Structure 1
Amino acid sequence: MIVGIETGGTKVVCAAGRAEAPDRPVLTRRFPTTDPDGTIGRIRDFIAEAGADEPVEAIGVASFGPVDADPSSPRFGWITTTPKPGWADVDLLARVNPEGLPAAFVSDVLGAAVGELRYGAGRGASSLAYATIGTGVGVGIVVDGRPIGGDGWPEVGHLLVRRHPADDFAGSCPFHGDCLEGLTAGPAVLQRWGVDASSFPPEVRDERLSILASYVAQMAYSVALTVGAERVVLGGGVMLAPGLLEATRAALPDLARGYGPASLSSRDPADVLVAPGVEDSPGVVGAMALAADLLG
């Protein structure tokens, strides 16, 4: 039996299943993310439940962060400088896995990138980025099948972007103001316009979607240029706004202007920028897949 754990800022998803089928868990539990003691206690209860009939052989954790996911670091498995109250400098991996079982530890978006590459919208690609545009902005990257990550990086959510000419919003990021997260995350949308992106009035919807799309497309273009991602999966609550994915696809060719890897210069943007393909919690599916990898 293997266990995958996806800890998010608002909820935790735990799943257990067979190493040969990480995308088909046989047991799943969801519960709110509260304080570390209460949340980790419920995760430990799930692991005990999953191993009641046969032992758990490996664990995968995909966590909100920033996290230290560098196996050579003395703080490997820690949540580090998160603004979530009570969670900064928590040794998450050691606390959910005191038995020292074989364990993988990555960021939540990197777990989702692995899940989407192997079992979702990234199937057939070798390199992929998964971006969540929601309460925050995070991007996980897999290059040539290898998850990329370390001590708090990559941190594409704080990429500096060109301002849209119709956007005078100062930005909501407490560190950078108008970085990608400060201009596109859910709190930024609410501060700028007073409603979420799915509730824009019809008379202003197109302009507002165009503003958001320009920033998301810049992120996708930057990732493709930097790591050669063949596909960028766009998830998160903001991307559920009707028309935003299509607007982002429409903005990509004007950015690329025919320059860049083949994924940008010769392919339909609808094949490059895609919605998630894993129906439920790609992060926990990726965490289970990484746990299965540890067993060969």
Structure 2
Amino acid sequence: MLGAIEAGGTKFVCAVGDDEGNIVERIQIPTTVPEETMEEVIAFFQKYPVESIGIGSFGPIDVNKESPTYGYITSTPKTAWKNYPFVRAIKDAFDIPVGFNTDVNAAALGEAKLGAAKGLDSCLYITVGTGIGAGAVVQGKLLQGLTHPEMGHILVRRHSEDQYAGKCPYHKDCLEGLAAGPAIEERWGEKGIQLSNREDVWNLEAYYIAQALMQYILILSPKKIILGGGVMKQKQVFTYIHNHLLQLVNGYVELPELSDYIVSPGLGDNAGITGSLLLAQEALLSKQTLQNS
């Protein structure tokens, strides 16, 4: 049996399941402070004979296995979790293999193996919600360099009629600062769900997201783009994104039919937790390979 943790800024989803992504049981735990949240996390997994646990976590996190702070949540704005040794806490409790990556990378893995990009060796998963983040699978592997991708903080061109300063505490008007859920609410004075009928709201949102997609397409050339998160539940924004993207690309590269290329998650809200189960599977296989070598 495998364990999975999707660690978000507002809640932790914990689940047990199998290596095909089937979930046996799952619970949600509020994200408060590590002492409280992790006590409940550990108590949940103590009920099951889990062989490994996969973690898809909010970040930034340290995913460099050669680093002394590997497995840590690092410079997060959630101050109680800053420099928290996440992997070590799980290993101390269970002494089993632990897979560790970002929540969006986990979701990308889930969608690549079992969701909207199943059968493809590359995809891009982007979540647009409280923040904006992205994970990428390239040639069948999660993209990682010096650290994990932070695609939500790229710079985009400001719309000529948009006077909003931006919400990001680091960059103000980066993509996340202009297009994440809190930016929509602060700019327009209401939550996105209350603005469903406002064409101007979603056309502006699409203007920024399409710019980001153009850059990701030109750099990574993903075979499928999956847009998840709470903001993307406003399905009308997809058409606006398609229109802006076609104008931006302007025929420079040939794109597939956009309604098939830029899609919602095939796994719905389970993309992250399913991907975390797959991280657990990878960690277990890695241990078994080392033992047999």
TM-score (norm 2): 0.92
Q: Distance in 1 between matches of 2:224 and 2:233?
A: 18
Alignment of 1:269-280 (within 5 A): 269-280=258-269
Q: Which residue number in structure 2 is paired with residue 92 of structure 1? A: 86
Deviates more, 1:40-49 or 1:148-157: 148-157
Kept in 1: contact 2:54–2:283 (CA 8 A): no
Structure 1 residues 280 and 208: alpha-carbon distance in aligned structure 2, compared to 1, 3 A threshold: closer
The structural deviation recorded for 1:182 is 0.5
Question: Is it true that 1:147 corresponds to 2:145 in the alignment?
Answer: no
Q: Which residue number in structure 2 is paired with residue 266 of structure 1? A: 255
Q: Which one of the candidate residues 211, 214, 220 is aligned to 1:221?
A: 214
Q: How many residues align?
A: 284
Helix, strand or coil for the counterpart of 1:130? strand
The structural deviation recorded for 1:197 is 2.2
Structure 1 residues 284 and 201: alpha-carbon distance in aligned structure 2, compared to 1, 3 A threshold: closer
Q: Which residue number in structure 2 is paired with residue 105 of structure 1? A: 100
The structural deviation recorded for 1:242 is 4.1
Q: Which one of the candidate residues 4, 27, 51 is aligned to 1:57?
A: 51
Q: Distance in 2 between matches of 1:153 and 1:294?
A: 18
Q: Distance in 2 between matches of 1:294 and 1:156?
A: 25
Question: Is it true that 1:16 corresponds to 2:16 in the alignment?
Answer: yes
Q: Which one of the candidate residues 225, 229, 240 is aligned to 1:236?
A: 229
Q: Give CA-to-partner distance per residue, 1:122-161, whole Å, 9 cap, x none.
A: 1132111111111111111111110113565311111000
Q: Give CA-to-partner distance per residue, 1:182-215, whole Å, 9 cap, x none.
A: 000111111110012232274xx22221111011
Helix, strand or coil for the counterpart of 1:70? coil
Kept in 1: contact 2:7–2:103 (CA 8 A): yes
Kept in 1: contact 2:196–2:234 (CA 8 A): no
Question: Is it true that 1:170 corresponds to 2:159 in the alignment?
Answer: no
Structure 1 residues 211 and 69: alpha-carbon distance in aligned structure 2, compared to 1, 3 A threshold: same
Helix, strand or coil for the counterpart of 1:160? coil
Structure 1 residues 40 and 187: alpha-carbon distance in aligned structure 2, compared to 1, 3 A threshold: same
Q: Which residue number in structure 1 is paired with residue 175 of structure 2? A: 180
What is the identity percentage for the equivalent residue pairs of Structure 1 and Structure 2?
40
Q: Which one of the candidate residues 284, 289, 294 is aligned to 2:273?
A: 284
Question: Is it true that 1:43 corresponds to 2:48 in the alignment?
Answer: no
Amino acid at match of 2:284: L
The structural deviation recorded for 1:36 is 0.4
Deviates more, 1:286-295 or 1:108-117: 286-295
Question: Is it true that 1:135 corresponds to 2:133 in the alignment?
Answer: no
* 5+ residue gaps, structure 1: none
Kept in 2: contact 1:253–1:269 (CA 8 A): no
Q: Give CA-to-partner distance per residue, 1:28-68, whole Å, 9 cap, x none.
A: 111111110111111111111122xxxx2111100001101
Amino acid at match of 2:230: G
Question: Is it true that 1:80 corresponds to 2:71 in the alignment?
Answer: no
Q: Distance in 1 between matches of 2:246 and 2:196?
A: 27
Helix, strand or coil for the counterpart of 2:269? coil
Q: Distance in 1 between matches of 2:38 and 2:90?
A: 6
TM-score (norm 1): 0.91
The structural deviation recorded for 1:69 is 1.1
Q: Distance in 2 between matches of 1:40 and 1:151?
A: 28
Helix, strand or coil for the counterpart of 1:129? strand
Kept in 2: contact 1:67–1:151 (CA 8 A): no
* 5+ residue gaps, structure 2: 286-293
Helix, strand or coil for the counterpart of 2:111? helix
